[in-house]
């Protein structure tokens, strides 16, 4: 699933590690989500959306 | 789940693993090297302690899995599935071959956990690299 996490994170000057710590996951998880290798669960997607102050559909893009 | 909780769960799992290995070694080598000549009561007690510690290890492993974040848990589950699957398939293939008198050599049952362990470690490494 495509997402805008890399852009949103860069806008805020956050590193993958700092975002991971805010979201309560590992840096590897953030990297895997950003590269599209791993789709987050709904609770994690909501946490990320809350951290960026956006709605889920503004961050994760439906490819179907 | 925080990194601190994950670290604590990992440390607890390591302690339980060492305790289980130590009690297994005691149950295995105790009859020959600790309580020589062999005493059945002492051997049964060592086996009972090993099983009890093994139950503790299972609980610690379950808590360890819960403490992982969702990607780490997925990597671990994939590795466990590969290890269980390979162990299961190879073992039953050997049993069938052995019953049909096709197996060239007797395989020690102790080989199975070694194979499962090696497959688990390799699958875990592959998962870590894949999602790096």
Burial class (CB in 10 A: 0-12, 13-18, 19+), A5: buried
pLDDT at B26: 94
- At residue A5 the predicted structure's pLDDT band, cuts being 50, 70 and 90, is very high
Whether B1 contacts chain A with CB within 8 A:
yes
Asked if residue B117 has pLDDT above 80, the reply is yes
- State the Cα–Cα distance between residues B64 and B103, nearest whole angstrom: 39
pLDDT of residue B105: 83
A16 pLDDT higher than 80: yes
ipTM of the complex: 0.85
Confidence of residue B69 (pLDDT cuts 50, 70, 90): very high
User: What gap in Å lies between CA A24 and CA A11, rounded to an integer?
Assistant: 20
What pLDDT sits at residue A40? 95
Rounded average pLDDT over B19-36: 91
| Best residue in A36, A38, A46 for a mutation probing chain B (most B CBs within 10 Å) | A38
Residue B3, pLDDT above cutoff 80: no
Hey, are the CB atoms on B74 and A38 less than 8 Å from each other? yes
Average pLDDT of the residues in A26-53 = 95
For residue range B78-115, what is the model confidence (pLDDT) as tens digits?
999 999 999 999 999 999 999 998 888 888 888 899 99
Residue B37's pLDDT is: 80
- Per-residue pLDDT band at B1 (split at 50, 70, 90): low
**Residue with more model confidence, B28 or B37:** B28
Cross-chain residue pair A28–B70, CB shorter than 8 Å: no
Say yes or no: B71 contacts chain A, CB-CB below 8 A: yes
Taking the C-alpha atoms of residue A13 and residue A11, their distance in angstroms, rounded to an integer, is: 6
Is A15 at the interface with chain B, CB within 8 A?
A: no
Which pLDDT score, from 0 to 100, does residue B109 have?
83
* Contact at CB, A29 and B69, closer than 8 angstroms: yes
State how far the Cα of A32 lies from the Cα of B20, in Å rounded to an integer. Answer: 35
CB of A34 within 8 A of CB of A16? yes
- C-alpha A28/C-alpha A63 separation (Å) is 23
* Residue A36, min C-alpha distance to chain B (Å): 10
């Amino acid at each position: 699933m495509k997402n805008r996490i890399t852009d949103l994170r860069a806008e805020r000057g956050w590193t993958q590690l700092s975002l991971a710590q805010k979201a309560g996951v590992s840096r590897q998880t953030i990297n895997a989500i950003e590269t599209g290798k791993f789709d987050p669960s709904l609770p994690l997607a909501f946490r990320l959306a809350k951290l960026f102050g956006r709605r889920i559909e503004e961050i994760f893009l439906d490819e179907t | 789940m925080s990194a601190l909780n994950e670290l604590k769960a990992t440390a607890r799992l390591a302690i339980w693993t060492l305790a289980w290995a130590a009690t297994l070694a005691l149950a295995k080598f105790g009859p020959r090297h600790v309580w020589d000549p062999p005493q059945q009561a002492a051997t049964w007690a060592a086996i009972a302690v090993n099983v009890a510690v093994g139950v503790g290890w299972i609980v610690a492993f379950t808590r360890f899995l819960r403490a992982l974040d969702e990607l780490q848990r997925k990597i671990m589950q994939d590795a466990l599935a590969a290890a269980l699957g390979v162990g299961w398939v190879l073992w039953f293939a050997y049993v069938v071959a052995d019953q049909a008198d096709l197996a060239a050599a007797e395989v020690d049952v102790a080989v199975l956990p070694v194979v499962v362990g090696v497959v688990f470690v390799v699958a875990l490494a592959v998962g870590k690299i894949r999602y790096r």
